[in-house]
Amino acid sequence: MSIEIDHVNKHFRDFVAVDNVSLTFREGELTALLGPSGSGKTTLLRIIAGLEQPDTGRIRFHGEDTTDLHVSQRGVGFVFQHYALFKHMTVFQNVAYGLTVRPRRVRPGKAEIKRKVMELLELVQLDWTAHRYPHQLSGGQRQRIALARALAVEPKVLLLDEPFGALDAKVRAELRRWLRRLHDEIHVTSVFVTHDQEEALEVSDRVVVMNKGRVEQDGSPEEVYDHPANPFVYQFLGNVNLFHARVHDGVARIGDVALPAPEYEGYRNEQGQAYVRPHEIEVFADAQHQDALHAKVELVSVVGPTVRLELRTDNSEALVHAELPKYRYRALGLQQGGDAWIRPIHSRV
Ligand code: ADP
Ligand code: MG
Protein backbone atom coordinates (compact mmCIF):
# COMPACT_ATOMS: atom_id res chain seq x y z
CA MET A 1 0.00 0.00 0.00
CA SER A 2 1.61 3.27 -1.09
CA ILE A 3 0.56 6.56 0.50
CA GLU A 4 0.39 9.64 -1.65
CA ILE A 5 0.27 13.10 -0.13
CA ASP A 6 -0.87 15.55 -2.78
CA HIS A 7 -0.46 19.29 -2.10
CA VAL A 8 -1.57 19.05 1.52
CA ASN A 9 -1.94 22.19 3.62
CA LYS A 10 -2.97 22.55 7.23
CA HIS A 11 -3.05 25.63 9.42
CA PHE A 12 -4.07 26.26 12.99
CA ARG A 13 -5.48 29.82 13.13
CA ASP A 14 -2.76 31.82 11.34
CA PHE A 15 -0.01 29.22 11.94
CA VAL A 16 0.94 27.06 8.98
CA ALA A 17 1.67 23.57 10.36
CA VAL A 18 1.86 21.73 7.00
CA ASP A 19 2.84 23.86 4.04
CA ASN A 20 1.96 22.48 0.63
CA VAL A 21 3.46 19.03 1.12
CA SER A 22 3.53 16.53 -1.75
CA LEU A 23 5.28 13.19 -1.38
CA THR A 24 4.78 9.48 -1.73
CA PHE A 25 5.53 6.81 0.85
CA ARG A 26 6.35 3.74 -1.17
CA GLU A 27 4.76 0.35 -0.75
CA GLY A 28 6.46 -1.86 1.82
CA GLU A 29 9.02 0.74 2.86
CA LEU A 30 9.81 2.12 6.27
CA THR A 31 10.10 5.87 5.87
CA ALA A 32 11.31 8.18 8.61
CA LEU A 33 9.70 11.62 8.89
CA LEU A 34 12.55 13.55 10.46
CA GLY A 35 12.51 17.13 11.64
CA PRO A 36 12.88 19.38 14.66
CA SER A 37 10.07 19.75 17.16
CA GLY A 38 7.20 21.79 15.69
CA SER A 39 8.05 21.02 12.07
CA GLY A 40 4.64 19.46 11.38
CA LYS A 41 5.51 15.75 11.56
CA THR A 42 2.72 14.72 13.92
CA THR A 43 0.18 16.86 12.06
CA LEU A 44 1.08 15.17 8.77
CA LEU A 45 0.85 11.74 10.40
CA ARG A 46 -2.56 12.57 11.87
CA ILE A 47 -3.74 13.72 8.44
CA ILE A 48 -2.62 10.39 6.93
CA ALA A 49 -4.47 8.58 9.71
CA GLY A 50 -7.64 10.60 9.30
CA LEU A 51 -7.45 12.05 12.81
CA GLU A 52 -7.06 15.49 11.27
CA GLN A 53 -8.52 16.92 8.04
CA PRO A 54 -6.27 18.89 5.69
CA ASP A 55 -7.44 22.39 4.67
CA THR A 56 -6.60 21.58 1.08
CA GLY A 57 -4.99 18.67 -0.75
CA ARG A 58 -5.69 14.96 -1.04
CA ILE A 59 -4.46 11.72 0.55
CA ARG A 60 -4.45 8.55 -1.52
CA PHE A 61 -3.78 4.98 -0.41
CA HIS A 62 -2.66 2.98 -3.39
CA GLY A 63 -4.26 5.47 -5.76
CA GLU A 64 -7.56 5.51 -3.90
CA ASP A 65 -8.66 8.82 -2.43
CA THR A 66 -9.08 8.40 1.34
CA THR A 67 -9.20 12.09 2.26
CA ASP A 68 -12.85 11.94 3.29
CA LEU A 69 -12.74 8.48 4.87
CA HIS A 70 -13.15 8.12 8.62
CA VAL A 71 -10.10 6.92 10.57
CA SER A 72 -11.75 3.54 11.21
CA GLN A 73 -12.12 2.93 7.47
CA ARG A 74 -8.51 3.58 6.51
CA GLY A 75 -6.90 0.42 7.85
CA VAL A 76 -4.12 2.19 9.73
CA GLY A 77 -2.31 0.97 12.84
CA PHE A 78 -0.73 3.43 15.28
CA VAL A 79 1.93 3.48 17.91
CA PHE A 80 2.49 6.70 19.83
CA GLN A 81 5.15 7.78 22.29
CA HIS A 82 2.82 7.37 25.24
CA TYR A 83 0.68 4.58 23.99
CA ALA A 84 -1.49 3.75 26.93
CA LEU A 85 -2.09 0.03 27.02
CA PHE A 86 -5.26 -0.84 28.88
CA LYS A 87 -3.99 -1.15 32.45
CA HIS A 88 -6.69 -3.51 33.66
CA MET A 89 -6.16 -5.93 30.77
CA THR A 90 -3.46 -8.53 30.38
CA VAL A 91 -0.98 -8.35 27.51
CA PHE A 92 -3.02 -11.02 25.73
CA GLN A 93 -6.25 -9.06 26.12
CA ASN A 94 -4.55 -5.85 24.98
CA VAL A 95 -3.29 -7.41 21.77
CA ALA A 96 -6.59 -9.18 21.16
CA TYR A 97 -8.62 -6.03 21.73
CA GLY A 98 -8.89 -4.80 18.13
CA LEU A 99 -10.15 -8.21 17.05
CA THR A 100 -12.62 -8.75 19.89
CA VAL A 101 -14.41 -5.42 19.30
CA ARG A 102 -15.15 -6.19 15.67
CA PRO A 103 -18.79 -6.63 14.68
CA ARG A 104 -19.83 -10.23 15.11
CA ARG A 105 -20.00 -11.07 11.40
CA VAL A 106 -16.32 -10.19 10.85
CA ARG A 107 -15.02 -11.21 14.27
CA PRO A 108 -12.67 -14.19 14.25
CA GLY A 109 -13.52 -17.12 16.53
CA LYS A 110 -11.93 -17.53 19.95
CA ALA A 111 -9.38 -20.11 18.81
CA GLU A 112 -8.45 -17.99 15.81
CA ILE A 113 -7.95 -14.90 18.01
CA LYS A 114 -5.76 -16.90 20.35
CA ARG A 115 -3.64 -18.22 17.50
CA LYS A 116 -3.29 -14.73 16.03
CA VAL A 117 -2.37 -13.04 19.33
CA MET A 118 0.22 -15.67 20.21
CA GLU A 119 1.71 -15.37 16.76
CA LEU A 120 2.04 -11.61 17.18
CA LEU A 121 3.50 -11.97 20.66
CA GLU A 122 6.09 -14.31 19.21
CA LEU A 123 6.81 -11.82 16.46
CA VAL A 124 7.63 -9.12 19.05
CA GLN A 125 9.39 -11.80 21.13
CA LEU A 126 7.19 -11.37 24.17
CA ASP A 127 5.00 -14.48 24.12
CA TRP A 128 6.02 -15.25 27.69
CA THR A 129 4.30 -12.04 28.89
CA ALA A 130 0.81 -13.00 27.67
CA HIS A 131 -0.68 -13.21 31.15
CA ARG A 132 1.10 -10.25 32.64
CA TYR A 133 -0.31 -6.78 33.12
CA PRO A 134 1.28 -3.68 31.56
CA HIS A 135 2.70 -2.46 34.92
CA GLN A 136 4.74 -5.69 35.10
CA LEU A 137 6.59 -4.81 31.89
CA SER A 138 9.43 -2.42 31.14
CA GLY A 139 8.85 0.64 28.95
CA GLY A 140 10.50 -0.99 25.97
CA GLN A 141 8.40 -4.14 26.37
CA ARG A 142 5.23 -2.05 26.59
CA GLN A 143 6.04 -0.36 23.27
CA ARG A 144 6.62 -3.74 21.64
CA ILE A 145 3.21 -4.85 22.93
CA ALA A 146 1.71 -1.61 21.59
CA LEU A 147 3.18 -2.52 18.21
CA ALA A 148 1.77 -6.06 18.39
CA ARG A 149 -1.60 -4.56 19.23
CA ALA A 150 -1.40 -2.19 16.25
CA LEU A 151 -0.53 -5.10 13.97
CA ALA A 152 -3.34 -7.35 15.23
CA VAL A 153 -5.93 -5.82 12.93
CA GLU A 154 -3.61 -6.29 9.92
CA PRO A 155 -3.28 -2.62 9.06
CA LYS A 156 -2.39 -1.65 5.52
CA VAL A 157 -0.30 1.16 6.89
CA LEU A 158 1.60 1.45 10.16
CA LEU A 159 2.09 4.92 11.67
CA LEU A 160 4.62 5.35 14.45
CA ASP A 161 4.91 8.72 16.20
CA GLU A 162 8.17 8.84 18.18
CA PRO A 163 7.37 5.36 19.53
CA PHE A 164 10.63 5.11 21.49
CA GLY A 165 10.83 8.77 22.48
CA ALA A 166 10.12 8.18 26.16
CA LEU A 167 12.68 5.41 26.61
CA ASP A 168 16.30 5.73 27.66
CA ALA A 169 19.07 5.83 25.06
CA LYS A 170 20.24 2.23 25.30
CA VAL A 171 16.75 0.74 25.08
CA ARG A 172 15.92 3.07 22.18
CA ALA A 173 18.97 1.96 20.25
CA GLU A 174 18.08 -1.69 20.81
CA LEU A 175 14.45 -1.18 19.86
CA ARG A 176 15.20 0.60 16.62
CA ARG A 177 17.39 -2.26 15.44
CA TRP A 178 14.67 -4.62 16.53
CA LEU A 179 12.07 -2.60 14.58
CA ARG A 180 14.32 -2.68 11.51
CA ARG A 181 14.47 -6.49 11.64
CA LEU A 182 10.76 -6.76 12.33
CA HIS A 183 9.98 -4.58 9.33
CA ASP A 184 12.21 -6.75 7.16
CA GLU A 185 9.91 -9.61 8.12
CA ILE A 186 6.51 -8.01 7.74
CA HIS A 187 7.07 -5.30 5.09
CA VAL A 188 4.04 -3.25 5.97
CA THR A 189 4.22 0.32 4.61
CA SER A 190 5.34 2.31 7.64
CA VAL A 191 5.91 5.94 8.54
CA PHE A 192 8.16 6.52 11.53
CA VAL A 193 8.21 10.01 13.04
CA THR A 194 11.33 11.05 14.90
CA HIS A 195 13.37 14.16 15.69
CA ASP A 196 16.47 11.98 16.21
CA GLN A 197 18.78 11.95 13.16
CA GLU A 198 20.62 8.82 14.17
CA GLU A 199 17.38 6.95 14.69
CA ALA A 200 16.07 8.04 11.27
CA LEU A 201 19.30 7.11 9.48
CA GLU A 202 19.57 3.74 11.14
CA VAL A 203 16.02 2.51 10.99
CA SER A 204 14.62 3.59 7.66
CA ASP A 205 14.67 2.78 3.95
CA ARG A 206 13.97 6.42 3.25
CA VAL A 207 14.19 9.70 5.09
CA VAL A 208 11.91 12.71 4.59
CA VAL A 209 13.38 15.78 6.26
CA MET A 210 10.82 18.35 7.39
CA ASN A 211 11.27 21.91 8.59
CA LYS A 212 8.58 24.53 9.26
CA GLY A 213 5.86 22.42 7.69
CA ARG A 214 7.79 21.83 4.46
CA VAL A 215 9.73 18.94 3.02
CA GLU A 216 13.38 19.92 2.75
CA GLN A 217 14.59 16.65 1.28
CA ASP A 218 13.37 13.19 0.47
CA GLY A 219 15.91 10.44 -0.17
CA SER A 220 17.75 7.36 1.07
CA PRO A 221 19.62 7.69 4.39
CA GLU A 222 22.91 7.89 2.44
CA GLU A 223 21.59 10.56 0.11
CA VAL A 224 20.35 12.88 2.82
CA TYR A 225 23.52 12.43 4.88
CA ASP A 226 26.12 12.58 2.11
CA HIS A 227 24.29 14.77 -0.39
CA PRO A 228 22.11 17.08 1.65
CA ALA A 229 19.90 19.30 -0.49
CA ASN A 230 20.56 22.47 1.46
CA PRO A 231 22.27 23.91 4.56
CA PHE A 232 19.32 23.11 6.81
CA VAL A 233 19.55 19.40 6.03
CA TYR A 234 23.33 19.47 6.32
CA GLN A 235 23.17 20.95 9.76
CA PHE A 236 20.20 19.02 11.02
CA LEU A 237 21.67 15.64 10.11
CA GLY A 238 24.73 16.03 12.26
CA ASN A 239 27.40 18.29 13.53
CA VAL A 240 29.01 20.31 10.77
CA ASN A 241 31.77 22.89 10.38
CA LEU A 242 31.36 25.90 8.15
CA PHE A 243 34.48 27.24 6.43
CA HIS A 244 34.90 30.17 4.15
CA ALA A 245 35.83 28.80 0.73
CA ARG A 246 37.03 30.25 -2.57
CA VAL A 247 35.73 28.30 -5.51
CA HIS A 248 37.42 28.24 -8.88
CA ASP A 249 36.72 25.89 -11.74
CA GLY A 250 35.76 22.77 -9.85
CA VAL A 251 38.10 23.31 -6.90
CA ALA A 252 37.15 24.71 -3.49
CA ARG A 253 39.94 26.21 -1.40
CA ILE A 254 39.77 26.37 2.37
CA GLY A 255 42.95 28.24 3.25
CA ASP A 256 45.58 26.38 1.20
CA VAL A 257 43.64 23.14 1.15
CA ALA A 258 42.24 22.38 -2.29
CA LEU A 259 39.23 20.06 -2.48
CA PRO A 260 37.23 18.89 -5.46
CA ALA A 261 33.94 20.74 -5.97
CA PRO A 262 32.72 19.26 -9.25
CA GLU A 263 29.41 21.08 -9.18
CA TYR A 264 31.39 24.33 -9.54
CA GLU A 265 33.08 23.33 -12.79
CA GLY A 266 33.33 26.46 -14.91
CA TYR A 267 32.76 28.87 -12.03
CA ARG A 268 35.51 31.48 -11.49
CA ASN A 269 36.46 33.12 -8.22
CA GLU A 270 33.24 32.47 -6.36
CA GLN A 271 33.05 32.91 -2.61
CA GLY A 272 31.20 30.25 -0.74
CA GLN A 273 30.73 28.33 2.46
CA ALA A 274 32.11 24.83 2.70
CA TYR A 275 30.35 22.30 4.95
CA VAL A 276 32.68 19.75 6.51
CA ARG A 277 31.63 17.02 8.95
CA PRO A 278 33.80 16.46 12.04
CA HIS A 279 34.95 13.03 10.83
CA GLU A 280 35.95 14.60 7.51
CA ILE A 281 38.78 16.55 9.11
CA GLU A 282 42.23 15.02 9.32
CA VAL A 283 44.22 15.98 12.38
CA PHE A 284 48.04 16.02 12.61
CA ALA A 285 50.38 16.69 15.49
CA ASP A 286 52.96 18.51 13.38
CA ALA A 287 53.22 20.58 10.20
CA GLN A 288 53.91 17.59 7.98
CA HIS A 289 51.48 18.78 5.34
CA GLN A 290 52.17 22.19 3.87
CA ASP A 291 48.55 22.94 3.25
CA ALA A 292 47.22 21.97 6.69
CA LEU A 293 45.83 24.75 8.87
CA HIS A 294 47.46 25.46 12.22
CA ALA A 295 45.13 25.34 15.22
CA LYS A 296 45.08 25.21 19.00
CA VAL A 297 43.36 22.31 20.71
CA GLU A 298 40.87 23.99 23.03
CA LEU A 299 38.90 21.02 24.25
CA VAL A 300 39.28 17.26 24.19
CA SER A 301 36.29 15.05 24.99
CA VAL A 302 36.52 11.31 25.01
CA VAL A 303 33.19 9.69 24.14
CA GLY A 304 33.72 5.96 24.37
CA PRO A 305 35.87 4.90 21.43
CA THR A 306 35.77 8.35 19.84
CA VAL A 307 37.61 11.57 20.65
CA ARG A 308 35.99 14.90 19.85
CA LEU A 309 38.23 17.91 19.53
CA GLU A 310 37.39 21.58 19.52
CA LEU A 311 40.08 23.50 17.69
CA ARG A 312 40.67 27.15 16.89
CA THR A 313 42.49 27.95 13.68
CA ASP A 314 44.72 31.02 13.53
CA ASN A 315 42.31 33.22 11.63
CA SER A 316 38.93 31.87 12.64
CA GLU A 317 36.37 33.02 15.13
CA ALA A 318 34.37 29.82 15.08
CA LEU A 319 35.61 26.62 16.66
CA VAL A 320 36.31 23.68 14.42
CA HIS A 321 34.90 20.35 15.55
CA ALA A 322 36.88 17.27 14.62
CA GLU A 323 36.26 13.65 15.51
CA LEU A 324 38.70 10.75 15.39
CA PRO A 325 39.08 7.25 16.82
CA LYS A 326 40.68 7.12 20.23
CA TYR A 327 43.58 4.93 19.10
CA ARG A 328 44.41 7.52 16.45
CA TYR A 329 44.23 10.36 18.96
CA ARG A 330 46.57 8.46 21.32
CA ALA A 331 49.03 7.76 18.50
CA LEU A 332 49.15 11.47 17.67
CA GLY A 333 49.91 12.46 21.25
CA LEU A 334 47.77 15.61 21.08
CA GLN A 335 47.05 17.61 24.18
CA GLN A 336 44.45 20.05 25.30
CA GLY A 337 46.00 23.52 24.97
CA GLY A 338 48.59 22.23 22.50
CA ASP A 339 49.11 22.66 18.76
CA ALA A 340 47.51 20.71 15.97
CA TRP A 341 47.25 20.91 12.20
CA ILE A 342 44.01 20.15 10.45
CA ARG A 343 42.98 19.47 6.92
CA PRO A 344 39.45 18.94 5.58
CA ILE A 345 39.37 15.86 3.37
CA HIS A 346 35.91 16.36 1.96
CA SER A 347 33.56 19.28 1.69
CA ARG A 348 30.38 20.42 0.11
CA VAL A 349 30.16 24.02 -0.98
P1 ADP B 1 6.08 18.02 15.35
O2 ADP B 1 5.36 16.73 15.47
O3 ADP B 1 7.01 18.08 14.19
O4 ADP B 1 6.75 18.43 16.62
P5 ADP B 1 3.42 19.15 15.15
O6 ADP B 1 2.83 18.63 13.90
O7 ADP B 1 2.98 18.53 16.42
O8 ADP B 1 4.99 19.17 15.02
O9 ADP B 1 3.09 20.68 15.28
C10 ADP B 1 3.43 21.64 14.32
C11 ADP B 1 2.95 22.97 14.81
O12 ADP B 1 1.54 23.03 14.78
C13 ADP B 1 3.39 23.25 16.25
O14 ADP B 1 3.90 24.56 16.32
C15 ADP B 1 2.12 23.10 17.04
O16 ADP B 1 2.11 24.01 18.12
C17 ADP B 1 1.02 23.42 16.03
N18 ADP B 1 -0.16 22.63 16.33
C19 ADP B 1 -0.26 21.29 16.22
N20 ADP B 1 -1.50 20.88 16.54
C21 ADP B 1 -2.22 21.98 16.86
C22 ADP B 1 -3.57 22.23 17.28
N23 ADP B 1 -4.46 21.23 17.42
N24 ADP B 1 -3.92 23.49 17.52
C25 ADP B 1 -3.04 24.51 17.37
N26 ADP B 1 -1.76 24.36 16.98
C27 ADP B 1 -1.35 23.11 16.73
MG1 MG C 1 5.26 15.39 17.09
316, pLDDT greater than 90: no
**Does ligand 1 lie within 6 Å of residue 53's CB atom?**
no
CA of 213 to the centre of ligand 2 (A): 12
Closest-lying ligand to the alpha carbon of 33?
1
Segment 242-254, tens digit of pLDDT: 888 999 988 999 8
Residues 165 and 302 in one domain: no
For residue 213, which atom of ligand 1 is closest to its CA? 10
Residues 149 and 52 in one domain: yes
317, pLDDT greater than 80: no
Instruction: Name the residue of 8, 12, 52, 162 to mutate for ligand 1: max ligand atoms within 8 A of Cβ.
Output: 12
Q: Domain end: 217, 236, 255, which one?
A: 236
We report the CATH number of the domain holding residue 313 as 2.40.50.140
Measured CA to CA, the distance from residue 187 to residue 219 in angstroms comes to: 19
Q: How confident is the model at residue 165 (pLDDT cuts 50, 70, 90)?
A: confident
Percent of the chain scored above 70 by pLDDT?
A: 99
Q: What is the pLDDT of residue 260?
A: 87
Give the torsion sign (CA, 328, 333, 336, 340).
negative
Least confident of 28-32, 41-45, 69-73, 315-319: 315-319
Question: Per the domain annotation, does 100 fall within a domain?
Answer: yes
Residues 162 and 255 in one domain: no
Q: How confident is the model at residue 215 (pLDDT cuts 50, 70, 90)?
A: very high
Residue 44 and residue 218 in contact, taking contact as beta carbons nearer than 8 Å:
no
Does the pTM of the predicted model rise above 0.90? no
Q: Provide mean pLDDT across the span 161-166.
A: 90
Reduce the secondary structure of 258-282 to three states and give it as a string: EEECHHHCCCCCEEEEEEECHHHEE
> What 3-state DSSP class applies to 80?
strand
Question: Per the domain annotation, does 349 fall within a domain?
Answer: no
We report the CATH number of the domain holding residue 105 as 3.40.50.300
CA of 134 to the centre of ligand 2 (A): 24
Q: Which domain holds residue 135?
A: 3-236
Q: What is the pLDDT of residue 56?
A: 98
Residues 188 and 227 in one domain: yes
Instruction: Name the residue of 43, 212, 215 to mutate for ligand 1: max ligand atoms within 8 A of Cβ.
Output: 43
Segment 284-309, tens digit of pLDDT: 998 888 889 999 999 999 999 999 99
Q: What is the pLDDT of residue 239?
A: 86
Q: What is the pLDDT of residue 208?
A: 98
Q: Provide mean pLDDT across the span 271-275.
A: 88
Q: How confident is the model at residue 18 (pLDDT cuts 50, 70, 90)?
A: very high
Measured CA to CA, the distance from residue 26 to residue 331 in angstroms comes to: 47
Q: Provide mean pLDDT across the span 84-109.
A: 92
Q: What is the pLDDT of residue 126?
A: 94
Segment 69-95, tens digit of pLDDT: 998 889 999 998 876 799 999 999 999
Polymer length of the chain = 349
Q: Domain end: 211, 236, 261, which one?
A: 236
CA of 252 to the centre of ligand 2 (A): 39
What is the complex's ipTM, to 2 decimals?
0.98
For residue 44, which atom of ligand 1 is closest to its CA? 6
Closest-lying ligand to the alpha carbon of 213?
1
281, pLDDT greater than 80: yes
- Beta 15-25 vs 189-194: how paired, if at all? unpaired
Q: What is the pLDDT of residue 83?
A: 64
**Does ligand 1 lie within 6 Å of residue 72's CB atom?**
no
Residues 34 and 173 in one domain: yes
Residues 44 and 84 in one domain: yes
C-alpha dist (Å) from residue 166 to 68, 81, 140: 33, 6, 9
Residues 137 and 248 in one domain: no
Q: What is the pLDDT of residue 262?
A: 82
Q: Provide mean pLDDT across the span 122-136.
A: 94
The protein residue with its alpha carbon nearest to ligand 1, atom 20, reads 43
Residues 161 and 53 in one domain: yes
Closest-lying ligand to the alpha carbon of 165?
2
Residues 45 and 105 in one domain: yes
51: Cβ–Cβ under 8 A, 6 or more apart, which residues? Answer: 71
Closest-lying ligand to the alpha carbon of 52?
1
Q: What is the pLDDT of residue 226?
A: 85
Q: Domain end: 213, 236, 259, which one?
A: 236
Question: Per the domain annotation, does 150 fall within a domain?
Answer: yes
Q: What is the pLDDT of residue 34?
A: 98
Question: Per the domain annotation, does 202 fall within a domain?
Answer: yes
Write down the mean pLDDT value for the chain: 92
Instruction: Name the residue of 42, 52, 216 to mutate for ligand 1: max ligand atoms within 8 A of Cβ.
Output: 42
The number of domains in the chain is 2
Residues 80 and 195 in one domain: yes
The protein residue with its alpha carbon nearest to ligand 1, atom 7, reads 42
For residue 46, which atom of ligand 1 is closest to its CA? 6
Give, as residue ranges, everything with CB less than 5 Å from ion ligand 2.
42
For residue 36, which atom of ligand 1 is closest to its CA? 3
Residues 248 and 231 in one domain: no
282, pLDDT greater than 90: yes
Residues 203 and 279 in one domain: no
Measured CA to CA, the distance from residue 335 to residue 141 in angstroms comes to: 44
